[in-house]
Every structure is written in C-alpha cells, then in structure tokens.
C-alpha cells in the first residue's frame, strides 16, 4: 500500500519529533475576554459528568467493559481475525448504548506473523536469551545464522566504525533509555543502518527504562536500497550482559533463528458520531487505536485509549448533553505497523478536513489524567488552558505544549489542525509497552473512571463552545 521509503520516513518523523519540545504552557499573557466567563459557565456540566462517572451509574463501567473486551480478544494484531472480530464487538457496544451513527471504512493493512524466535549465546558461554522480532522483520535462513556480535552505543559510533569490522556480524545497539522519542530511533532505523554497513542481523536493547527480563517489540522499517536483515529486541539484562563481556575484550558469538510471514489483509477504521445540534458538519474527534502487538493483550496500548474514547459519546448521550458540534469517536486500525488507518482516513476525508475543529488521541496509557499535551497557535493554547482550569478538582489542569501531540493525530496536527493527546501519570508506561506485560493488571478502575470523565468533559466543552478553535 505504501512504499518502503514512505513508511520509513513517516515513522522516523513521528517518533523523532513527538514531544521533543514539550513544556508547561504559561497562560499569564492570555487575553480571552468574555470567553473566560463562557468557559467558566461549564463548571456545573463538568461536575455533572465527573460525578456521573466517578460516583454515579457509570462508576467502574469503563474498566469493566475494557476487561470484558481484553479477556475476550486478547492481542489484536493488524490483519488478524481477532482484530476484525473485536471491531464488530465495538460496533455492537456502541449500538447497545443507543449510538447508531456508526460506520466502518475499509483499509488495506499488513499481516505480519512471527514464528519461532530463538537467540542463543555460544561464546564465551552458552546462554539462551529472550527475544522479540521487530515488526515486519525478515526471517533468518532455515537453520538460523551464527555470527559475532558488535556492540554499538549510537549511530555516530556505527558510522565511525570501519565497514570491515561490521560486515558479516550482528550489530547490537545498546542505547540507554532517556525519552522514547530520543531512544526509539535505534529500533525503527537500526536494522537499515546496520545493513548498510554489511551486518547480517540487528539486535536492540529494548526501548524501555525497566525490565524483568522481558523484551519489548515494536515497529522497524527497511530503507530502499538496503538489504533487509533480521531485526529483534532483547532484554535490558541480556543486552547489558553482552555489553560487559564485549567491553572486556571477550568474543561474543550468538545463533539467531527467526521465522515470520508478511501478507496483506483488509481491516477497518470505525467512526461513531454523536451528532451536533447546531453545526453537525463540524467535528471534535476523540480517538485511539484498536490494533495491538501480538504480545501481551493490548490492554494499555491501546485498549484504555479506545475505551475512554468509547465512553465520551456514550456518557454524553446518556446525560443528554448534546454539544453544538459533532463528537466523532474513531477507533484507528493498524497504528502499530505504520499509522496506516489514520492515513487512509485522511485520504478518504480530505474534503472535510477543514471541518475538524479539534482532534484528540489517547495512546500513551490511561493512568491518572494530569491534563493535555496540545499543539495550536497561542490563542488555541490559551483556550485549552482555560478549559483545563475546570479540572483542578481531579488534578488534571496542566497543559503541555508540543508541536506534535500523539502519534495517529500527528498526521492532522502537522497540517495546522489543532489537537491534543492525554497527558497522564504514565511514568511506568514504558515498563509494559509492547511486552507480554501489557495486560489488565496495568489498569485500575479509578484511573479509567478519571480518564473517561476527563476525556468526555473536555471533548464536550470544546465541541460546544460558541467559537471554533482557531488554526
């Protein structure tokens, strides 16, 4: 569907720019005039939504529905039957809540399936090591490949290493996690850069700050003109072991066996509208992605995100709080393998992009909400900051500035459309991200109640304001 070079550039741009220049917004020089009073007038409606969700009939509902969903389907990789059945399930869930403005739009997506994956160190001693192949990695020869390991700390070191010291060997990248956007490039670009130097495979120290001997998978892409080589993540513990041995001058030799297949299938984006009462053509979008990796159960990434976005129109419909503009919930498909669903949506809805008033995404956990990460011009940020003042009671009034909030929605915010992602207390998010640990044990009823209430009320206010959010 997309060329290798296009997807490669897309992933690099998203992850290298995401949240690189975040800072807390200073609203001291904001001058919104009478709009301040208008926003303040939503206080009672915000309290109504919060009370209904935290202590009323909706208490525990988001967690319970997410748990039923995750327990029923588990992991939902792009292109699989499990994903498609989970989409049908969500459609029924919206219908059961009286929301019938539901459509799906077909998207051609990759189906990458891993087979056996084995990594064994043979020198200087024998040790089996845990690995996870990276998205769309090619397979090894049938009997695997055995080679020495070259440990590389960063791309500068790789470039400065003579090709003859890399050729025929396996490159192991050992970046120490700083921020996701700074460190993830060794996963997304590592195999392509190693192959260009003659390496036969690429391994990466999992992109995470913490591990219990658990590797973290994720997407990677081969650049045009470079031979695709097997690519996998290993645990922090094993990466550090190999590094210590290597730095002592030991020869480290491993055998890598990886099998996989890559095909294409048809999936769907899911669109659900709570029609606005005055300007239904204008949209405030809440969203998350319904696909997941094949490890774990996709509870955190991004089950929580799709369920707080499911809750927004459901809660408003139950409370008969119908805003001026339409609130559209979107469950993106095939985010993990290259933001494929959102690209398809943007192309299909190019003629209505001018009607997107604001776009929101939850895709970095649904821990306790702290506010929003938002883009937009100064007035937009002033408006969002003023809206967030209404959430001081739940400690969710912080506005973080970013030129690229979110992953899927960056396709829109990069063109000047204002938007925001959920800013939440996600210090442990990357502990479980893209691992077997992404299960319901990461979620709590209280955090999902807070997230659903916050997400719903913010979307409602922005969709109901008397003015459009400026671009």
Active-site residue numbers? 335
Q: Which of these, 237, 203, 184, 227, lies nearest to 132 by C-alpha position?
A: 203
Q: Which residues of 85-105 are buried (b: 16+ CB within 10 A; e: fewer)?
A: ebbeebbebbeebebeebebb
Q: Which of these, 52, 252, 228, 259, lies nearest to 148 by C-alpha position?
A: 252
Structure tokens at 337: 């393998």
Instruction: With beta carbons less than 8 A apart as the criterion, state whether 329 and 456 touch.
Output: no
Q: What is the number of other CB atoms lying within 10 angstroms of the CB of residue 155?
A: 16
Cis, peptide link before residue 281, omega less than 30° from 0: no
Structure tokens at 384: 């969002």
Q: Is 110 exposed, middle or buried (0-12, 13-18, 19+ CB in 10 A)?
A: buried
Q: Which of these, 346, 385, 372, 449, lies nearest to 39 by C-alpha position?
A: 385
DSSP assignment letter at 134: P
Residue 29 backbone phi and psi in degrees, to 5: -105, 15
Q: Is 45 exposed, middle or buried (0-12, 13-18, 19+ CB in 10 A)?
A: middle
Instruction: With beta carbons less than 8 A apart as the criterion, state whether 203 and 232 touch.
Output: yes
Residue 428 backbone phi and psi in degrees, to 5: -105, 5
Instruction: With beta carbons less than 8 A apart as the criterion, state whether 351 and 309 touch.
Output: no
| CA dihedral sign, ordered 13, 19, 23, 24 | positive
What torsion do the CA atoms of 438, 83, 142, 224 make, to the nearest 10 degrees? -90
Q: Which residues of 405-420 are buried (b: 16+ CB within 10 A; e: fewer)?
A: bbbbbbbbbeeebbbb
Q: Is 380 left (phi over 0), alpha (psi -120 to 50) or beta?
A: alpha
Distant-in-sequence contacts of 25-29, Cβ < 8 A, 24+ apart: 25/374, 25/381, 25/385, 25/399, 25/400, 25/401, 27/381, 27/382, 27/385, 27/386, 27/399
CA–CA dist 177, 172 (Å, integer): 15
């Amino acid at each position: 569907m997309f060329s290798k070079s296009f997807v490669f550039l897309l992933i690099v741009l998203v992850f290298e720019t995401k949240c690189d220049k975040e800072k807390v917004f200073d609203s001291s020089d904001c001058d919104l005039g009478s709009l301040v009073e208008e926003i303040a007038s939503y206080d009672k409606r915000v309290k109504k939504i919060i009370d209904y969700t935290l202590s009323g009939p909706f208490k525990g509902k988001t967690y319970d529905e997410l748990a039923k969903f995750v327990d029923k389907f588990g992991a939902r990789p792009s292109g699989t039957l499990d994903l498609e059945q989970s989409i049908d399930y969500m459609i029924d869930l919206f219908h059961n809540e009286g929301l019938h403005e539901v459509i799906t739009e077909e998207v051609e997506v990759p189906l990458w399936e891993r087979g056996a994956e084995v990594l064994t160190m043979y020198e200087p001693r024998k040790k089996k090591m845990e690995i996870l192949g990276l998205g769309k990695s090619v397979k090894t020869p049938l009997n695997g490949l055995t080679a020495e390991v070259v440990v590389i700390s960063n791309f500068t070191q790789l470039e400065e290493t003579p090709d003859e010291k890399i050729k025929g060997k396996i490159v192991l990248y050992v970046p120490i996690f700083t921020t996701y956007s700074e460190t993830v490039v060794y996963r997304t670009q590592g195999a392509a850069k190693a192959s260009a130097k003659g390496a036969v495979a690429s391994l990466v120290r999992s992109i995470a700050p913490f591990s219990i001997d658990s590797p973290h998978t994720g997407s990677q892409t081969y650049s045009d003109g470079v031979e695709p080589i097997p690519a996998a993540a290993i645990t922090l513990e094993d990466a550090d072991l190999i590094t210590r041995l290597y730095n002592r001058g030991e020869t480290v030799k491993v055998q890598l066996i990886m099998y996989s297949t890559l095909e294409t299938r048809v999936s769907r984006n899911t669109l659900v509208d709570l029609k606005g009462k005055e300007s239904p053509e204008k949209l405030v979008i809440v969203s998350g992605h319904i696909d997941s990796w094949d490890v774990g159960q996709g509870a955190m990434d991004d089950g929580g995100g799709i369920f707080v976005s499911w809750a927004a129109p459901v809660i408003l419909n139950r409370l008969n709080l119908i805003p001026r503009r339409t609130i559209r919930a979107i469950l993106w498909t095939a985010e993990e393998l290259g933001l494929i669903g959102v690209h398809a949506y943007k192309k299909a809805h190019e003629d209505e992009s001018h009607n997107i008033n604001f776009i929101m995404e939850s895709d970095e956990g649904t821990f306790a909400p702290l506010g929003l990460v938002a883009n937009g011009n100064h007035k937009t940020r002033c408006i969002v900051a003023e809206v967030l003042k209404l959430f001081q009671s739940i400690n969710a009034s912080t506005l973080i500035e970013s030129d690229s909030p979110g992953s899927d929605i960056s396709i829109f915010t990069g063109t000047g459309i204002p938007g925001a992602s959920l800013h939440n207390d996600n210090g442990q998010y990357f502990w479980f991200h893209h691992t077997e640990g992404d299960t319901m044990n990461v979620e709590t009823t209280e955090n999902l109640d807070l997230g659903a209430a916050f997400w719903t009320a913010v979307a409602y206010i922005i969709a109901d304001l008397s003015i459009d959010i400026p671009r």
